[in-house]
Amino acid sequence: MDKKILITGSAGFIGKSLLEEIDADGIDLKEGTDACDEIKGDYDVIVHLAAYMKGEEDLQENNLDATVSVVQYCKRTGAKLIFASSAAVYGQAGF
């Protein structure tokens, strides 16, 4: 049985690297660059990597709200969630 996997943030550094490494039979990969878009389709696993670093309004909408939407989708459908973040969420160093 094929596993259907959605990777949000596949245009970012970590997402691109993950896509390059995953090459397996039985895995149906779907790239999703923006987690704010409604998730369409049935997925067994969502790898949530999408995030923005600039703009206070964008941070709220694109990071927090999008993550909540992904979690709600997983709860509703039973999909597994893999969530990763990076130090980039803390912004630029002030020194």
Give the pLDDT confidence score for residue 29 in this predicted structure: 66
Give the pLDDT confidence score for residue 75 in this predicted structure: 95
Give the pLDDT confidence score for residue 82 in this predicted structure: 93
Beta carbons within 8 Å of 63's beta carbon, 6+ residues apart: 51, 52, 89
* Average pLDDT for 36-46: 80
Residue 63 has pLDDT above 90, yes or no: no
Over the chain, what is the mean pLDDT? 76
Give the pLDDT confidence score for residue 80 in this predicted structure: 95
Q: What is the dihedral of CA 10, 47, 75, 70, to 10 degrees?
A: -30
Give the pLDDT confidence score for residue 15 in this predicted structure: 80
* Average pLDDT for 6-16: 81
